[in-house]
Copies of this chain bind each other. A is one copy, B any other.
């Protein structure tokens, strides 16, 4: 039996990704005003980092065709950082025009997945980041990177940790300090998560390491617990648990913001997010997208409220 050191941090930070990673996977395309309303309400619930849009070409991602308009209409505040996803230089030009607080770039940990996702090799993707980072930094915009399929690839299966270390090494070389590991197909397990994160912190003690879990097999919260035990405090979540990459066979919903906020707040770990606001906003989102949200906490309506009264059979 192995003994491991576990931590309960005092607080964790959430990057809310439903407006981008969530809505891009929905067949129903929301009108701009609903997207803006969603982002506004997420901010009001206490979320201070929100992925607001994607600048992938509308030909590939019609759901995000109004990215400029969304960015123009959302309320700006010193307390909320808006990030946008940028796939290439053309996307960067569009993105920088909208004055985001942060730009996110992405690459797969597996060669096959990267080719199928963006039709480039990993090397070509990372090479492209250099110009994106330098141009963004000139504009005063920070860049963070997401490594997708970091815990397993739908085509190649297992992904060695050495590939993640190698990518992080290259990112740090170009001035990217924030790196998020995506469990794109929801195959990570708690032990793997714990060891991967420990290995990364050993080599890169100053990294701002985020985790982006998918909940296809109901493992996201257990993986999150393993991640905080390994020292992680940054998590991507999506309201209602919507999302999932359309280019990843078997991908399922993101870890639901409600589910993370509920379990951590109950455990005495602060998220600074108000659960009741998330549930009310989830009700709206459910109407807009036209189907039930995967979030269990949404379905349970949040915390238990003790009832008094007669036997309920």
- Residue numbers of A with Cβ under 8 A of B are 1-10, 116, 152-157, 185-187, 189-192, 215-219, 221-222, 224-226, 229, 246-247, 249-250, 252, 256, 259, 262-263, 266-269, 295-297, 300, 303-304, 306-308, 311-313
Contacts and interface: CB of A to CB of B under 8 A. Distances in A.
A8 B221 CA distance: 17
B217 A300 contact: yes
A191 B268 contact: yes
18 contacts: A1-B7, A5-B6, A155-B306, A186-B300, A187-B266, A187-B303, A190-B267, A191-B266, A192-B266, A217-B259, A217-B296, A218-B218, A221-B222, A222-B222, A222-B224, A222-B225, A222-B263, A247-B312
Leading 4 A-B pairs by shortest Cβ distance: A218-B296, A189-B266, A191-B267, A221-B222
Contact of A221 (B6, B157, B218): B218
A300 B294 CA distance: 14
Nearest to A218: B296
B4 A300 contact: no
A223 to B, nearest CB: 9
Given A1-B8, A154-B307, A192-B266, 19 more contacts: A1-B7, A6-B6, A152-B304, A154-B304, A155-B307, A155-B308, A157-B306, A191-B268, A192-B267, A216-B296, A217-B262, A218-B259, A218-B297, A219-B263, A222-B222, A222-B225, A222-B263, A225-B226, A247-B311
A155, A215, A307, A312: residue with the most chain B Cβ atoms closer than 10 Å: A312
A5 B1 CA distance: 12
A192 to B, nearest CB: 7
A2, A218, A268: residue with the most chain B Cβ atoms closer than 10 Å: A218
A154 B306 contact: yes
Nearest to A267: B191
A304 B192 contact: no
A27 B33 CA distance: 43
A265 B10 CA distance: 31
Given A215-B296, A300-B186, A116 B311 contact: yes
A116 B5 CA distance: 42
Nearest to A226: B225
A7, A190, A247, A295: residue with the most chain B Cβ atoms closer than 10 Å: A190
A246 B312 CA distance: 8
A278 to B, nearest CB: 13
Contacts of A250: 300, 304
